[in-house]
Amino acid sequence: MIYTKNPENRKLKRMVKTETLEIQTKGNCHIVDMTPDIQKAILKSGLTDGTVTVFNVGSTAGITTIEYEPGLVNHDINAAFEKIAPQNGRYEHELTWHDDNGHAHVR
């Protein structure tokens, strides 16, 4: 919830704004800079104070805060994930669901 000062009586007024963004990815460590979309949503809301909560639906996606630097997002993160959870590794998850995406759940 977002609380904002009501200029008429200076008391806190509770206000909630919801915006849904749909972002398509290419899968397997495709990183998307959501900053411009989130900034547009904030401007559209008309709010000037408050907290923004960003979340995703799904078990193989994630949201983080990082410096959106080309070497980092185009190479380094994928290389690190390949060391931690290789795409061609063996995952118990795949024995249950037979969906060949155990690495995505681990990442």
Q: Domain limits of the chain?
A: 2-106
More confident residue, 29 or 54: 54
Residue 82 corresponds to which tokens in the numbers above? 């390949």
The Cα–Cα gap between 70 and 83 comes to: 20
Confidence of residue 105 (pLDDT cuts 50, 70, 90): confident
Listed in sequence order, the residues at least 6 apart from 63 whose beta carbon sits closer than 8 Å to its beta carbon are 34, 54, 55, 56
pTM here is 0.70
Is domain 2-106 classified as CATH 1.10.3470? no
Which pLDDT value is given to residue 97?
83
Which pLDDT value is given to residue 60?
85
What is the length of the chain? 107
